[in-house]
């Protein structure tokens, strides 16, 4: 069956794993891509120790790209946050991408895309998959006009950095589909076959999933955290203003502290700073240090009841099946 997402990315099944910073690795990304989907390396893929050095950050990413290529010859992508201005970390990462030429970049744009960066991607045959955090018809059209090849619309069900607008995927996606004739991927609460089929029924040409891929055998998230997610109910999550967008967290120690801070009027910057200073995703999820950092989840967590392989998840979410 013809599918524009598959054709553009060179994949078999239009399933993209989310850019989950500390919660990706070369092994995980290769497993997603080997299964026929599109794995994505987060900027801290494969790491367990932070670095504040732009060159070291970029070179660690280069090493992960090389490792993916040792494990698979299938297409994969790299995550990149950027907008009109290019910070030192992004500048060094762009050098690596120009050298290594992954199949695509997954861009989370902050405002207009930098024209030089877009030209770099185009000159090097790197496709652009764009996911504006708080997607609207207007900003999706804008990023398309700036050079994006594939667009992702995210509903508020998404776990990490979801839309500021409290609009569900089912409510928002059809209007976007009607307004934009471009390859369009659905995100937010995609955790099982029924959700993928619903997305396809609305006109999605692919799906983008995070939490479902966290609870897989190959994902580097701590085993104890995977079990916590299986045991967690959607109604137990707290919705926290984040930078950017909003995120949903489990009520561990830091989660409860965030809830109290919100009740006292803390803004998104203060909330983000608090959970980052208390371990963030690295301690809370990658390393699984009890009561440190945060544990993040999609609203679709009730539908995740076991640890599966990446191949099983890709096959389940494949809208072409």
- Specify if 120 maps to a domain: yes
One domain for residues 11 and 135: yes
Within this chain, do residues 124 and 143 fall inside the same structural domain, yes or no?
yes
Give a yes or no: residue 225 inside a domain: no
Inside any domain, residue 229: no
Is 26 inside a domain boundary? yes
Q: Which pLDDT does position 202 carry in this prediction? A: 97
Kindly state whether residues 195 and 133 are assigned to the same domain. Answer: yes
- Are 114 and 140 found together in one domain? yes
Of 200, 220, 219, 199, residue with least CA distance to 311: 219
Q: Is 164 helix (H, G, I), strand (E, B) or coil?
A: coil
Q: Tell me how far CA of residue 223 lies from CA of 105, 152, 205, 302, in angstroms.
A: 29, 29, 32, 18
Query: What total of structural domains would you count in the chain?
Result: 2
113 and 252 part of one domain: no
Three-class SS string for 53-96?
Answer: CHHHHHHHHHHHHHHHHHHCCCCEEEEEEEECCCCHHHHHHHHH
State both tokens at 290: 């009890």
User: Are residues 252 and 207 part of one domain?
Assistant: no
Question: Where in the sequence is the domain holding 184, given as residue range(s)?
Answer: 4-220+304-317
Residue 118 sits in the same domain as residue 253 = no
> Is 153 among the domain residues?
yes
Question: Does 208 share its domain with 67?
Answer: yes
Q: What is the dihedral of CA 118, 102, 11, 35, to 10 degrees?
A: -140
Q: Which residues contact 226 (CB under 8 A, 6 or more apart)?
A: 214, 215, 219, 307
In a domain, 226, yes or no: no
Distance separating alpha carbons of residues 205 and 2, to the nearest angstrom: 10
User: Do 207 and 60 share a structural domain?
Assistant: yes
Looking at residue 113, its pLDDT comes to 94
Same domain, 74 and 127: yes
CA gap 133, 242 in Å, rounded: 11
310 inside domain: yes
Domain shared by 47 and 72, yes or no: yes
Q: What is the 3-state secondary structure (H, E, C) of 20-55?
A: CHHHCCHHHHHHHHHCCCEEEECCCCCCCCCCCCHH
* Residue 29 resides in a domain: yes
Tens-digit pLDDT profile for the chain (321 aa)? 689 999 999 999 999 999 898 999 999 999 999 999 999 999 999 999 999 999 999 999 999 999 999 999 999 999 998 888 999 999 999 999 999 999 999 999 988 999 999 999 999 999 999 999 999 999 999 999 999 999 999 999 998 888 889 899 999 999 999 999 999 999 999 999 999 999 999 999 999 999 999 999 999 999 999 999 999 999 999 999 998 889 999 999 999 999 999 999 999 999 999 999 999 999 999 999 988 999 999 999 999 999 999 999 999 999 998
Sign of CA dihedral 95, 34, 170, 162: negative
> Residue 1 has what pLDDT?
65
- Domain with residue 30: its CATH number is 3.20.20.70
Same structural domain for residues 193 and 286? Answer: no
DSSP for residue 250: -
Q: What is the pLDDT of residue 142?
A: 96
> Which pLDDT value is given to residue 282?
96
């Amino acid at each position: 069956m013809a599918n524009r997402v598959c054709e553009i990315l060179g994949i078999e099944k239009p399933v993209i794993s989310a850019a989950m910073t500390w919660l990706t690795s070369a092994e995980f990304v290769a497993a997603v891509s080997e299964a026929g989907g599109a794995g994505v390396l987060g900027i801290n893929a494969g790491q367990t120790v932070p670095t504040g050095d732009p060159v070291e950050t970029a070179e660690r990413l280069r090493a992960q790209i090389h490792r993916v290529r040792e494990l698979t010859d299938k297409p994969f992508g790299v995550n990149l946050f950027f907008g009109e201005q290019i910070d030192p970390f992004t500048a060094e990462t762009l050098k690596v991408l120009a050298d290594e030429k992954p199949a695509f970049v997954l861009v989370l744009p902050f405002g207009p895309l930098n024209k030089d960066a877009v030209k770099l991607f185009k000159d090097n045959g790197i496709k652009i998959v764009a996911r504006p955090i708080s997607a609207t018809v207007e900003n999706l059209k804008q990023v398309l006009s700036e050079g994006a090849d594939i667009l992702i619309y995210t509903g508020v069900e998404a776990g990490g950095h979801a839309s500021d607008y409290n609009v569900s995927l089912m409510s928002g996606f059809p209007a976007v589909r009607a307004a934009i004739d471009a390859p369009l991927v659905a995100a937010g609460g995609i955790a099982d076959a029924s959700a993928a089929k619903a997305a396809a029924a609305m006109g999605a040409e692919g799906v983008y999933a995070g939490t479902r891929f966290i609870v897989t055998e190959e994902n580097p998230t701590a085993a104890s955290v995977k079990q916590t997610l299986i045991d967690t109910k959607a109604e137990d999550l707290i919705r926290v203003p984040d930078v950017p967008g909003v995120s949903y967290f489990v009520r561990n120690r830091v989660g409860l502290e965030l809830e109290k801070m919100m009740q006292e009027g803390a803004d998104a910057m203060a909330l983000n700073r608090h959970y980052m200073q208390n371990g963030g995703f690295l301690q809370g999820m990658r390393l699984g240090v009890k009561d440190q950092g945060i544990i993040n989840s999609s609203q679709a967590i009730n539908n995740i009841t076991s640890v599966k392989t990446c191949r099983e998840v890709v096959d389940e979410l494949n809208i072409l099946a």
